Amino acid sequence: MKENIKKPYNRAKWDSQNSTYMQIIHFANGKSIVGYSQRTGYEEIRDRTKLLKNLILRMYEKGYLNEHDDKKDVDCIEYHMRQKTGDPYELFFVLYQNYVEWNQDLYRESIDKFLRKFLELKAQGENPYNLLYDSSKSKRLDPLTISTPRFKGRDDLRAHCVRLVDGSIRAIGEVKNFYIKYCEQYLNGYKQLDEAFILRLKN
């Protein structure tokens, strides 16, 4: 008999330090449950928009966002997004059973369109999970892309570059060029301290 591979994942603790999203489920009786988009020891999918959409759809499938499911008497779910500065998480929006309340400072049109489709399907008696859940795997990013900010600081960027070089994944020259461009675009410029790292990376 095969072991259920989902069991170890479900037993893992929530990763409150590295998750992109935090959700707080508020019940009508005043109780609440806090959860996150990542569990300790497991990585999130790279597509953060799909990550959030699928998280919401799983809440429907489990009954939390399905007001017809008598097992879950939920008033609303708060969704918070990790920030680069200040408080670790900031309120993104609050999803009620039939409407959404936004923090306008973090409004995202693509998410709003998804939520309206989600609520529309619910109102029509359709199953949003069956119609909207995306189970396809995300394509892996090019390890040398600078199209989007990927590292919060030089330590993570350097660890990434060392892995690429030590694992013979990409040539040193390519990695050096990537490091310089990434620093210039996202880390306030390529500085003298970066030259020292590049020299050590070659040796």
Q: Note whether 167 and 124 are same-domain residues.
A: no
Q: Note whether 28 and 61 are same-domain residues.
A: yes
Q: Note whether 39 and 83 are same-domain residues.
A: yes
Q: Is residue 142 part of a domain?
A: no
Q: Note whether 123 and 86 are same-domain residues.
A: yes
Determine the pLDDT at residue 194.
Answer: 92
pLDDT in tens, 104-132: 999 999 999 999 999 999 999 899 998 99
| Residue ranges making up the domain that contains 193 | 154-202
pLDDT in tens, 47-94: 899 999 999 999 999 999 987 666 668 999 999 999 877 678 999 999
- Structural contact between residues 80 and 93, judged by C-beta atoms closer than 8 angstroms: no
Last residue of a domain, one of 102, 132, 162: 132
Percent of the chain with pLDDT over 70: 88
Q: How far apart are CA 157 and CA 176, in angstroms?
A: 11
Task: Enter the tokens of residue 31.
Answer: 């109780």
- Altogether, the residues listed in the chain come to a count of 203
* Separation of first and last alpha carbons in the chain: 50
Determine the pLDDT at residue 152.
Answer: 83
**Domain tally for the chain?**
2
Q: Note whether 111 and 16 are same-domain residues.
A: yes
pLDDT in tens, 138-169: 556 788 888 888 888 899 999 999 988 887 78
Determine the pLDDT at residue 2.
Answer: 39
Q: How confident is the model at residue 22 (pLDDT cuts 50, 70, 90)?
A: very high
Determine the pLDDT at residue 3.
Answer: 41
Q: Is residue 33 part of a domain?
A: yes
Q: Is residue 63 part of a domain?
A: yes
